[in-house]
């Protein structure tokens, strides 16, 4: 157990469906992340939240909509996805210092991922 | 700009023999480097990290890595492979900020 819990672990959805992925961390961290892991590709950072504020959107299509109601919870709302969006979506958390101090060396802890299949 | 290069996409070893997974990095900042392992259908688990303290870092499950600034390398080693070590391994770099740069991964296969 890493202290980062993702639900559901597996999700199959049609292209017209709306669904959400949920992530919860029990580590007292103040930064949370969504990553996408596709077959044969490096992990792709999607979004970063620090203290509930989005600090990075890595050119993610608007059909992915993140929500961070507090430092312990992070959602990824999914709408009108495409088959190429099928992937493993990993949530992570860490302590995050301010941008000047950078948080260098702060370990990022990952959840076990949500396998998404778009049909 | 920063980058991580994992030199081997696949490594195959026999059980009981040493493991070497290679990682080279490039960073404009003093780097922090991590190795994560991902078993099938699982998330990423931290094996070890280097953050400018001792250059030889010991991690879980008998793994260790040595930070060599002159060679810009952070190779992962284990003296004796076990079947349970079969997984994908990621070398990861942070430089400025908390943004991680991932290598493309090395799939380790352990044979009897």
What residues does each domain of chain B span? 3-111
DSSP state for residue A106 in the 8-state scheme:
P
Q: Which residue has the tokens 């259908």?
A: B41
Which tens digit of pLDDT belongs to each residue from B25-71? 998 878 889 999 999 888 899 999 998 778 999 999 999 999 999 99
CA angle A63, A49, A6 (to 5 degrees): 70
Least confident stretch, A19-23, A37-41, B17-21, B94-98 = B94-98
Mean pLDDT of A61-87: 95
Q: Which residue has the tokens 């980058």?
A: B3
CATH class of the domain at B3-111: mainly beta
Task: Say yes or no for a CB contact (<8 Å) between A42 and B29.
Answer: no
Mean pLDDT of A86-95: 92
Model pLDDT, residue B97: 60
Chain A contact for B9, CB < 8 A? no
Task: Say yes or no for a CB contact (<8 Å) between B43 and A31.
Answer: no
Q: Which residue has the tokens 């017209």?
A: A16
Closest among B84, B72, B90, B59 to B26, alpha carbons compared: B72
Mean pLDDT, chain A, integer: 88
Interface of A with B (CB under 8 A): 2, 4, 6, 31, 42-43, 45, 48, 56, 90, 92, 94, 96-97, 99, 102-113, 115
CA dist B57 and B51 (Å) reads 10
């Amino acid at each position: 157990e890493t202290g980062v819990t993702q639900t559901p672990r597996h999700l199959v959805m049609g292209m017209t469906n709306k669904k959400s992925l949920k992530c919860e961390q029990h580590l007292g961290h103040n930064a949370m992340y969504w990553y996408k892991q596709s077959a044969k590709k490096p992990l792709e950072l999607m979004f970063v939240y620090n203290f509930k504020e989005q600090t990075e959107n890595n050119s993610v299509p608007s059909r992915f909509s993140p929500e961070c109601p507090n430092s312990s919870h992070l959602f990824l709302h999914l709408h009108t996805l495409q088959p190429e969006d099928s992937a493993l979506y990993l949530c992570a958390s860490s302590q995050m210092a301010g941008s000047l101090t950078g948080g260098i060396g702060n370990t990022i802890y990952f959840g076990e991922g949500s396998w998404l299949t778009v049909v | 700009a920063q980058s991580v290069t994992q030199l081997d996409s696949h490594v195959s070893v026999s059980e009981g023999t040493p493991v070497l997974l290679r990682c080279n990095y490039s960073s404009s900042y003093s780097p922090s480097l991590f190795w994560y392992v991902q078993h099938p259908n699982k998330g990423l688990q931290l094996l070890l990290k280097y953050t400018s303290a001792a250059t030889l870092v010991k991690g879980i499950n008998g793994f260790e890595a040595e930070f060599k600034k002159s060679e810009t390398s952070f190779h992962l080693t284990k003296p004796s492979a076990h079947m349970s070590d079969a997984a994908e391994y990621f070398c990861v770099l942070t430089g400025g900020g908390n943004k991680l740069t991932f290598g493309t991964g090395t799939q380790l296969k352990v044979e009897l």
